Structure 1
Amino acid sequence: MAEKTGEMTIMDHLEELRRVLIVSILATMVLAVGAYFFCDQILAVLLEPLTKLGHKVVFTGITEALWVKIKLSFFVGFLAALPVILWQVWSFIIPALKRNERFYFTIFVVISFVCFLGGVAFSFFGVYRLGIMFLLRYAGPELVPMLTIDKYISFTITFLLPFGIVFELPLVSFILAKLELVNYRFLAKNRRYALLVIVVMAAILTPTPDVVTCLIVSGPMYLLYEVSIWIVRLVERGIARQKQQQERAELAEARSAAVVDG
């Protein structure tokens, strides 16, 4: 992208935003097409929690299998295109930032990407598999699961995406603490309200109405909230030390000036 010089008008900003959106959408579509050719392998990985338990998945509509593969391709294409999307966002915002702000924003974009993928991976290889095993065994031997591929993939995507977003919470908390917009005392004092909000969010995000799935989702979310509290506390201590050092330096400078004047 060519480097921007001078002041940009509103139309220039809108044109640049349009370019960012077009590139991001095209990257997602191209990678989704590429992902379609690997749908069978991707499905095998996603179905592993079921196949390990000896269960099979069916489809009930003529176009259901094709639609599922298209939907899964776009999901994988979006994940694969995230570096491109974040790079486009970075290129849109970075010209308006100062040199030191550019460095921190670049670090933020990289860590944000890692946290999102980490959340999705943690969800699938940890919470999701345990949840599937528990929920299927919870049905008992009398009930035989008849799982359709469309509902299973929809359940999987709806389960994984929120974890990717929620894993950004410690990073957001770090930034807000650096800006002194949140503090440890406030977050620690409002734990019970945070827990209530997390449970409500988990109930909304989970595609099934059962309490067990809600608890499986809300547990790691609350753990991330506690991690965020710990991060905010560390940031506060660092800021307090910096302020003390600054006050000592100012006091020493004032004393030196007083000695010179005396």
Structure 2
Amino acid sequence: MINDKIDFYYFSGTGNTYLVVHKMKEVWEKHGLKVNLFPLENSNPEKINLNNVIGLGFPVAEQSTYHFVWDFIKRLPESPGTAIFMVDTMGSFSGGIVGPLKKLLTGKGYHPLGACEIIMPSNIFYIAPEKKCQEKIEKGLLKAEHYALSLLKGTARWGRVPLISDAMYLASIFGLALTRSRINQNLLPLTTYYDLCQKCRICVKLCPVGNRKIEKNEYPQHGLKCEYCLRCASFCPYNAIKCPFNYKGKTYKAVEARVFLERK
């Protein structure tokens, strides 16, 4: 049950997790709770307040989540029983995050309150028409609202299926390593089209791992540590960055770029 201050650490790629986290915050604030939101990519996990309830929110990637999100979680300090919950957003399914994350956190001494996975519009491979995306967003936010209330009431659950989830986690780690390999980074870069680019630097500011660089008046350069969160492609105001594996080069975003820029 949540009845105290909440520190909610989250990462959002193209806006789905952002919407879910803010919906949950809205629900809790209506019930008089104090909720602090922290962009996970800008936060130090070793300095979290163990006296507050901790929330973790992130998108699913490679059936679990991004390498830098895992790194944040693994660097969390040992706890004397701090209450913690998680929520993720996904296009279809995961399998390698809920169970392994519970195992990791309980091993550090945290008290798991609940876990919830919410289907939202996909931002990769095939981008659905806007109407379909909006319908999914509405259903997803309704689920987020119900989950927030279940955490308030103490009825949320955090299950674990050991063998299946552990196997999916190992497959995810392999997939993440392959994605981050130099071969993959060279073969599937997010390409900047200089005839469209206006050097606005939004992509540089939004990259959570500092993979995009720009020097003086040059065009932004794509490095070799991309985790394919697709922020840069989705929020480029000039549509100058193309994702090589999205159908017809379409992009998806749930919110406007200024949302991410304003919270820095």
Q: TM-score range by the shorter chain?
A: under 0.3
Which protein has the bigger strand share? 2
Normalised to the residue count of structure 1, the TM-score between the two structures is 0.23
Structure with larger Rg: 1
Name the TM-score, length of structure 2 as normaliser: 0.23
